[in-house]
Every structure is written in structure tokens, then in C-alpha cells.
């Protein structure tokens, strides 16, 4: 990928005019999404793990970097990395992950404030220092790079929204380029997240938030809507339902609902 799409990634983040950051899981899905209109692609830690036959949280940093490079080689739009907790608890490891991401040409990454696998949340002060270290490393890259700071504790059940909002303010002060509080609870909670920061806010279109339209996210002031592993899980639902029909009832009719091979080929060629 050239420097040009990397340089434009930050400009896509406009509060109140969100773009869709399409999380893909392999080169083919990335190319299809771009051919269908995606202006930027992201990896998904969970969806990537699924392709390796593993649960979320069991992909190494080297594997994630190589996976991201495959994505960048497949498309010409900006690519961002869903990079867990940075694969380390300490701020220095987060900074090294940012440097590695910058070296391979990623347009940005997300860093979570929970341990790898989400079993615990970092103390707020440590969470902020991790972002501070990552932001310093990002600025040292000498080019545009979007560091999205995630407050995952509401989604994982480790803290409530008031604590998330305190972390949001801390992440902004520490130099983050954007804020991401996955599944904050309700649309009103998402509006509170947007109101708590001057930075662009990412929303996750999953669970109950998948019922919202892009226009509704825009009205809340959201700048970016990502998919996480939701689109990958849609494909897994198709596998599940088709396999159940085949193996339990001998029914192959769900297979007749698939896209024609030629249509897929056309999308892959058109990306």
C-alpha cells in the first residue's frame, strides 16, 4: 500500500459524518468489501482467530502483523489493525506495537484497556499511561497514524459507564487520536461517550447497535462505525445453518442461496 491512503485515513474521521470501517478477515473478504464501497478496511482480532481455528484473544502479535500485511497487499484503501491490548501489559510494549504497526504501513490501530483475552481491566492510571506511550510512538513515526484508544470494560463487565467516561477523558489528555467504547449499553450511553471528548468516536455496529442506521450514528456525533467480528459471524451463521440442514436433515437447499461464483469473481477483480 502506498503512503497516500495512509495519509487520508485521519481525514475520514469526521464527527457527525461517520464512515464505515469494514472489518475483514482475509484478503478475499477485504477485496469484496472494497469493491462494494468500503473506504477503509480493518482487521478483526476475533475474526482472524476464527480463521485459525482459535477463540478470540489467541493470536500472537507476529501473526496479527503478518495478517495485516496480507490485507494491505490486497487493497489500496487504508488498513487499520485491531490489535488487542498491544500484546503486553506495560506501556513500553504498547509503544513497540505502535512502532511495528507503523513500520509495516498500517494507517492506525486500536489498543484495548483490558488484558489479552479480556479477563481483567487495567487500573485507570496504567491504562492512560499505556495510551500515552502509544501516542508518543505514533507521533515519532513522522507520518499520519490514527491511534484509537479503547475503553472495553463496560462491554466486558469490569466497570460501568462513569468509569469509562473518566478513561475517555484520560485517553484524550494522553494523546489518543480517537475514542472507542464498544457496546456502551444504550444509544444514550453512546451519546454520553461522544459528549465526553472532542476526539472522533468509533461505534461498534453489533448487538443492539446493529439496529441503528448510519444516519442515526451520525446524529449522535459518531465519526466512525466499525463492524468488529459481526460480519464474520454472519458468515459463520450461514455455515452453521447450512451444515445443520445437511447433517441433520439431509437438506442441501440452503446451498442454493449462495452468490454465483462469477459474481464473486467480478467483485474480486474490481477491488
pLDDT top residue among 37 and 117: 37
Distance of CA 19 to the CA centre of its chain: 13
Question: b/e per residue, 191-222, with b = 16+ CB within 10 A?
Answer: bbbbebbebbbbbbbbeebeebeeeebbebbb
Tens-digit pLDDT profile for residues 96-128: 999 999 999 999 999 999 999 888 999 999 999
Cα distance between residue 233 and residue 168, in whole Å: 28
What's the pLDDT score for residue 270? 79
Tens-digit pLDDT profile for residues 144-170: 999 999 999 999 999 999 999 999 999
Q: Which helix (H) or strand (E) holds 23?
A: strand 19-23
What's the pLDDT score for residue 239? 96
Q: What Rg, from alpha-carbon coordinates, does the chain have?
A: 18
- In this model, does residue 6 exceed pLDDT 80? no
pTM listed for this prediction: 0.95
What's the pLDDT score for residue 4? 59
Tens-digit pLDDT profile for residues 215-263: 999 999 999 999 999 999 999 999 999 999 999 999 999 999 998 999 9
- CB-hemisphere CA count at 13 Å for 19? 19
What's the pLDDT score for residue 2? 44
Q: By percentage, how much of the chain surpasses pLDDT 70? A: 97
Q: Which helix (H) or strand (E) holds 80?
A: strand 79-82
For the chain, give the mean pLDDT. Answer: 95
The single-letter DSSP state of residue 144 is -
- In this model, does residue 90 exceed pLDDT 70? yes
Cα distance between residue 13 and residue 10, in whole Å: 6
Cβ atoms of 226 and 42 closer than 8 Å: yes
What's the pLDDT score for residue 48? 97
What's the pLDDT score for residue 7? 74
Cβ atoms of 164 and 153 closer than 8 Å: yes
Q: By percentage, how much of the chain surpasses pLDDT 90? A: 92
Residues 61-65 have a mean pLDDT of 98
The fold of 3-231 is: TIM Barrel (3.20.20)
Amino acid at each position: 500500500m502506498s503512503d497516500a491512503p495512509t495519509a487520508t485515513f485521519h481525514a475520514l474521521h469526521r464527527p457527525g459524518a461517520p464512515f464505515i470501517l469494514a472489518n475483514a478477515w482475509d484478503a478475499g473478504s477485504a477485496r469484496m468489501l472494497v469493491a462494494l464501497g468500503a473506504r477503509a478496511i480493518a482487521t478483526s482480532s476475533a475474526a482472524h482467530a476464527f480463521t485459525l481455528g482459535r477463540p478470540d484473544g489467541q493470536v500472537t502479535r507476529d501473526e496479527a502483523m503478518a495478517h495485516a500485511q496480507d490485507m494491505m497487499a490486497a487493497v489500496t484503501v487504508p488498513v487499520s489493525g485491531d490489535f488487542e491490548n498491544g500484546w503486553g501489559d506495560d506501556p513500553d510494549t504498547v509503544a513497540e506495537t505502535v512502532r511495528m504497526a507503523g513500520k509495516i504501513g498500517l494507517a492506525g490501530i486500536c489498543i484495548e484497556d483490558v488484558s489479552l483475552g479480556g479477563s481483567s481491566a487495567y487500573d485507570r492510571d496504567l491504562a492512560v499511561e499505556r495510551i500515552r506511550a502509544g501516542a508518543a510512538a505514533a507521533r515519532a513515526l513522522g507520518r499520519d497514524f490514527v491511534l484509537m484508544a479503547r475503553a472495553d470494560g463496560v462491554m466486558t463487565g469490569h466497570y460501568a459507564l462513569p468509569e469509562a467516561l473518566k478513561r475517555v477523558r484520560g485517553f484524550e489528555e494522553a494523546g489518543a487520536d480517537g475514542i472507542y467504547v464498544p457496546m456502551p449499553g444504550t444509544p444514550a450511553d453512546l451519546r454520553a461517550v461522544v459528549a465526553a471528548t472532542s476526539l472522533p468516536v468509533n461505534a461498534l455496529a453489533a448487538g443492539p447497535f446493529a439496529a441503528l442506521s448510519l444516519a442515526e450514528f451520525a446524529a449522535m456525533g459518531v465519526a466512525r462505525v466499525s463492524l468488529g467480528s459481526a460480519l464474520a459471524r454472519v458468515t459463520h451463521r450461514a455455515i452453521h445453518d447450512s451444515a445443520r440442514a445437511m447433517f441433520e436433515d439431509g437438506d442441501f437447499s440452503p446451498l442454493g442461496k449462495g452468490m454465483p461464483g462469477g459474481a464473486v469473481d467480478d467483485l474480486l477483480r474490481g477491488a
